[in-house]
């Protein structure tokens, strides 16, 4: 059952071939047995899951139906969950139990989804490998010596290992798409503002966006349908109608114009590049036309991101001071000692690095030279995308430069680590929707292709991804030992 799609599971539930409680117990058993080796889930919610599953069964017995009613999921531990620990992968919030649900959590709960637990993640979503977590690194189910990618690596690894039917994540600079590529699942980042950020612990507020991990583009459409929509609790939420994402799947791809991003192939491993060109050939068979597209300012996305994101991080994380909630040092001598030691002991090395970088670029005398200039370049990158979409419907390229690397291989080299997001950051800077799809293997490890569309083109991206998955089976592959 753990290899079935959301739609297939929903059919079994509707036909009463299985109950939600039985389905939930199946996933909980796998979670108990397989998670210790993966470290993908840090807070299982066994009793809550069984209670929600029983409630879903009662709703079905009363005549209610829905594609997510009774379907088990795992939430990234960045989403506040009422009565359940929300740690954000940090010692700072190790003892924090949220008094309310994030909008993403409440909407999926109302749709009937069953929460199995909270997934491990890079601390405060800062990382590209899921090695900065206070709870230790997540292992990639395709090779336990390799990283799953970050920061949503716990959600990606859990789904790839069949510990849930789907999972949530967040994407600030590629933190859904990158781990999706490295674990062989589908990772979808909607347009900025399409999904509410209320109750999602902030890293970089102008970049953060909630999204999905699923087995297929069709599953992503189902989950996004429940998550998307205006939220008055989020000032960045966009008041715009939500299309019928699942109903729009299956439209012919004839006439679709796909642009191949030239900048994404500079220095790319030839084997990875060959997978993207093979995918392009499949799209052409389906009726799409392709051409090369250049975004001249895109190579500046990494330095731009690593000015903007740390600046916003330093502001957002100033609230964690040891006074109101979260970690507090023992026996502080005075208020200043409380601040210094609580933050010094509560935050990990990567978070401290980004806070200090962000504080520096926002400081008097450096704001114009760094932060203001980065925002100007961000606009140039956004303009490049806008011009590209005047001639093509979407862009294609690799999601990551390499397959999953060894745990510990890059942890002491921040710059090399940051470059793992080189192909994903641009979409965040411009606020664009993007999806990563499995497209093959390099060295027996999964690789992903990325589709990027104009603002609010989620339906087009999902339809193109669905079309590709109708003629390929990369998304149906599972790691050995987890089938």
Q: Which residues of 457-466 are buried (b: 16+ CB within 10 A; e: fewer)?
A: bbbbbbbbbb
For residue 410, indicate whether it is catalytic.
no
Contacts of 277 by beta carbon, 8 Å cutoff, 6+ apart: none
- Judged on CB neighbours under 10 Å (0-12, 13-18, 19+), 390 is exposed
∠ Cα 33 35 41 (to 5°): 140
CA distances from 225 to 12, 228, 335 (A): 21, 6, 47
Per residue in 234-247, is it b (16+ CB within 10 Å) or e — as a string?
beebbeeebbebbe
Of 5, 19, 20, 76, catalytic: 76
Catalytic residue among 87, 119, 151, 196: 151
151 a catalytic residue: yes
- E strand residue ranges, 363-413: 394-398
CA-CA distances (angstroms) from residue 63 to 11, 148, 283, 453?
15, 40, 41, 39
**CA angle, corner 96, sides to 91 and 100, nearest 5?**
145
**Residue 335: helix, strand or coil by DSSP?**
helix
Is 76 catalytic? The answer is yes
Given 155, 175, 196, 436, the catalytic residue: 175
Helices 20-38 and 6-14: crossing angle, nearest 10°?
A: 150
CB 419 within 8 A of CB 401: yes
Active-site amino acid positions:
76, 151, 175
């Amino acid at each position: 059952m753990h290899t079935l799609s959301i739609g297939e599971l929903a059919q079994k539930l509707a036909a009463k071939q299985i109950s939600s409680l039985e389905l939930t117990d199946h996933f909980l058993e796998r979670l108990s047995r397989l998670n210790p080796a993966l470290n993908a889930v840090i807070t299982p919610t066994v009793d809550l899951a069984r209670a929600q599953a029983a409630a879903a069964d009662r709703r079905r017995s009363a005549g209610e139906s829905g594609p997510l009613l009774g379907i088990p999921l795992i939430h990234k531990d960045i989403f506040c969950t009422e009565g359940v620990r929300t740690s954000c992968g940090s010692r700072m919030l190790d003892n924090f139990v949220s008094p309310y649900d994030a909008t993403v959590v409440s909407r999926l709960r109302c749709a009937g989804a069953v929460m199995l637990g909270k997934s491990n993640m890079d601390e405060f979503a800062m990382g590209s490998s899921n090695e900065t977590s206070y709870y230790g690194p997540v292992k990639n189910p395709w090779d336990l010596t390799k990283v799953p990618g970050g920061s949503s690596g716990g959600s990606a690894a859990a789904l790839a290992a069949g510990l849930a039917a789907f999972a949530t994540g967040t994407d600030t600079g590629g933190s859904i798409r990158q781990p999706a590529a490295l674990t062989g699942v589908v990772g979808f980042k909607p347009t900025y503002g399409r999904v509410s950020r209320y109750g999602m612990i902030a890293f970089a507020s102008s970049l953060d966006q909630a999204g999905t991990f699923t087995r297929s583009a069709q599953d992503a459409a189902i989950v996004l349908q429940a998550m998307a929509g205006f939220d008055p609790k989020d000032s960045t939420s966009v008041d715009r109608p939500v299309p019928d994402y699942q109903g729009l799947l299956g439209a012919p791809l004839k006439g679709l114009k796909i642009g191949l991003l030239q900048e994404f192939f500079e220095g790319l491993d030839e084997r990875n590049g060959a997978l993207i060109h093979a995918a392009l050939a499949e799209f052409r068979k389906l009726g799409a036309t392709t051409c090369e597209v250049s975004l001249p300012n895109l190579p500046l996305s990494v330095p731009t991101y690593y000015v903007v994101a740390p600046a916003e991080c330093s502001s957002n994380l100033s609230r964690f001071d040891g006074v109101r909630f979260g970690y507090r040092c023992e026996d502080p001598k005075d208020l200043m000692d409380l601040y210094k030691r609580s933050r010094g002991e509560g935050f990990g090395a990567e978070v401290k690095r980004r806070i200090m970088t962000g504080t520096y670029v926002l400081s008097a005398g450096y704001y114009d030279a760094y932060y203001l200039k980065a925002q100007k370049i961000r606009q140039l990158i956004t303009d490049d995308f806008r011009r590209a979409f005047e001639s093509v419907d979407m862009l294609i390229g690799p999601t990551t430069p390499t397959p999953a690397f060894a745990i510990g291989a890059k942890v002491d080299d921040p710059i090399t680590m940051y470059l793992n997001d080189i192909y994903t950051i641009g979409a965040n800077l411009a606020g664009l929707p993007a999806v990563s799809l499995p497209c093959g293997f390099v060295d027996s490890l999964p690789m992903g292709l990325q589709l990027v569309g104009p603002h609010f083109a989620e339906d087009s991206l999902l339809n193109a991804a669905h079309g590709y998955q109708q003629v390929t089976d990369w998304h149906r592959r599972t790691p050995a030992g987890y089938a």
